Amino acid sequence: MVVTDKKIYIETYGCQMNVADSEVVLGILGNEGYAPINSPETADLILVNTCSVRDNAEKRVHQRLTELRAYKQNNPEVLIGVLGCMAERLRTELIEKNNVVDIVVGPDEYRKLPKLVEDAYAGQRGIAVKLSRVESYDDITPLRTEGITAWLSVMRGCDKFCTFCVVPFTRGRERSRTLTSVVEEVRKLSEQGVKEVTLLGQNVNSYKDSNYDFTDLLQEVASVDRTMRIRYTTSHPQDMSDKLIEVMAKNDNICKYIHLPVQSGSDRILKLMNRTYTIDHYLNLMKKIRLAMPEVAFSTDIISGFPTETVEDHQMTLEVMKEVRYDGAYMFKYSPRENTKAWNMNDDVDDKEKGRRLNEIVLLQEAISNEINQSMIGKTVKILVENDSSRSSDDLMGRTDTNKKVVFPRGNALIGEYRTVTIERATAHTLIGTLTAGENA
């Protein structure tokens, strides 16, 4: 294949796995000479890595494709490609209904991108959307652009089939990377100065490489470099094992932050969702985790207005939130997705009522997050300095082990250092403080 000097711009929607996939895509195309740039204006190839999880995620992408049409009108040589979950779900529809799209590539077909792009430049629009039982991009070096933090997919796909969720259809069956290749990649990242790695999977508990499970992988990864923070997401509440809790508790560099999506506080709704746990199980699990790691922080995902959800069911969700006191939450209105089991259930909570319930959930969470953060005032916390603050160039942003954002005047601190900060003010989403004088943490 001819190596090119073309410029590529990629825009990413959806979950962190898509962020990691975009880096894989840049890795694959980088080998052919494509150089990444940060805006679409001068790009030869514009890729949009898409999400199908809710209808509004898809609407946003359709809207964006309409906007991107302008770049093609200015320069007919520009190619536009749709990647990711919408490519998988909508396939030919994207090319047929939308004359702005030249190539459509599903999540397991990124190795074909160089060929598809080449064909498209020769006038042949192309589609590749087969799902694979084995593809894990194990041997591809992703082109990372996030500085001192890195995402690393350790497994792909999902076999859980929660009845609301399109992911098993857009990402296909579960499969894992090898333990040795993950550990090797983490070692390389450490050598490159990366300070935090987040292991990714829709359901990391299903990780499997011959006799190794996720806890073995986590232990191995944590042992690579003790100055490197290790995070992971997502663990399914049904499958989170005692062994996982133990490995987290005994490794100081595994962050004490767990995203544990509850979805609903009602056992009846959880059953309809095929979540396979009860609230009793969930709360006991949380107790066990807190006993092993008293400092742990939790976040969750919650859906409002799943089919047949009553005001009483909704109330149970609020009760669970009050009982657990999550540090943070991602909260959504139920959105029916084609092919899922729930698609055939009657979407009987009207949009206004879904919105009203969601609003109550959001307000309660804001209040809880705010209370938890206010209680941090006066405390001194250890942070990893990650970035310039988005608000002011005088400030830096770092995170605590428990994933709380901390903003502070930069002083002599550098990105990539561990420092301590004393918290002076707090909002529901951010802690604000000043560097503690003296040594690095």
Q: Where do contacts with ligand SAH occur on this chain (CB under 6 A)?
A: 53-54, 164-165, 167, 202-203, 234, 236, 261, 263, 301, 303, 332, 334-335, 337
Stretch that binds ligand SF4, among 3-11, 158-166, 223-231, 308-316 (CB under 6 A): 158-166
**Among ligand SF4, ligand SAH, ligand F3S, none, what binds residue 168 when CB lies within 5 to 8 Å by partner kind?**
ligand SF4
C-alpha to C-alpha distance for 365 and 299, rounded to whole angstroms = 10
What is the rounded CA–CA span in Å between residue 436 and residue 133? Answer: 51
For the beta carbon of residue 76, count every other beta carbon within 10 angstroms.
Answer: 7
- Residues in contact with ligand SF4, counted by CB under 6 A, come to a total of 10
165 binds ligand SF4 (CB under 6 A): yes
Beta carbon nearer to ligand SAH, 107 or 261:
261
Q: Which pair of structure tokens corresponds to residue 17?
A: 């796995």
Q: Which helix (H) or strand (E) holds 18?
A: helix 16-30
The full DSSP string for 156-187 is E------TT--HHHHH-S-EE--HHHHHHHHH
Map residues 85-124 to x or -, x wherever contact with ligand F3S holds by CB under 6 A: x---------------------------------------
Query: Binds 338, which of ligand SF4, ligand SAH, ligand F3S, none (CB < 5 to 8 A, cut-off by type)?
Result: none
Rounded-to-integer distance, Cα 407 and Cα 421, Å: 9
Token representation of residue 93: 């529809």
| Closest to 79 measured CA to CA, from 128, 117, 48 | 117
The nearer residue to ligand SAH, 202 or 373, going by C-beta atoms, is: 202
Closest CA to 80 of 88, 91, 70: 70
The residue of the chain with the least Cβ separation from ligand SAH equals 301
Among the candidate windows 88-96, 160-168, 404-412, 428-436, which touches ligand SF4 by CB under 6 A? Answer: 160-168
Q: Where are the alpha helices (DSSP H) in 163-310?
A: 167-171, 179-191, 214-224, 242-250, 267-272, 279-292
Site for ligand SF4 in 6-45 (CB under 6 A): none
Does residue 161 touch ligand SF4 according to CB under 6 A? yes
Which alpha helices (DSSP H) does 37-84 contain, by range?
A: 55-74
Q: What is the rounded CA–CA span in Å between residue 130 and residue 88?
A: 8
Q: Tell me the closest approach of the beta carbon of residue 290 to ligand F3S, in angstroms.
A: 28
Helix (H) or strand (E) holding 369: helix 351-374
User: What does the alpha-carbon distance between residue 300 and residue 329 come to, in Å, rounded to a whole number?
Assistant: 5
Report the distance separating Cα 185 and Cα 192, nearest Å.
Answer: 11
| Partner interacting with residue 95 (select from ligand SF4, ligand SAH, ligand F3S, none; CB below 5-8 Å by kind) | none
Residue number closest to ligand F3S, CB atom:
14
- Residue 256 binding target from ligand SF4, ligand SAH, ligand F3S, none, CB below 5 to 8 Å by type: none
Q: Which of residues 46-65 bind ligand F3S (CB under 6 A)?
A: 51-53
Determine which residue in the list 112, 156, 160, 231 makes contact with ligand SF4, applying CB under 6 A.
Answer: 160
3-class secondary-structure state, position 405: strand
- Strand ranges in 234-391 using DSSP code E only, listed in sequence order: 257-259, 297-304, 328-333, 380-388
- CB of residue 432 to ligand SAH, shortest distance in Å: 29
105 forms beta bridges with: 83, 128
Candidates 170, 234, 299, 317; binder of ligand F3S (CB under 6 A) is: 170
Tokens representing residue 158 in the block? 């999902």
Q: Are 260 and 240 in contact (CB under 8 A)?
A: yes
Choosing from 168, 237, 398, 433, the residue that interacts with ligand SF4 (CB under 6 A) is 168
What residue 257 binds from ligand SF4, ligand SAH, ligand F3S, none (CB within 5 to 8 A, per partner kind)? none
Give 101 or 396: the residue with its C-beta nearer to ligand F3S.
101
For the bound state, the minimum distance from the C-beta of residue 360 to ligand SAH, rounded and expressed in Å, comes to 16
Residues near ligand F3S, by CB under 6 A:
14-15, 17-18, 51-53, 84-85, 166-167, 170-171
Residues near ligand SF4, by CB under 6 A:
158, 160-162, 165, 167-168, 202-203, 236
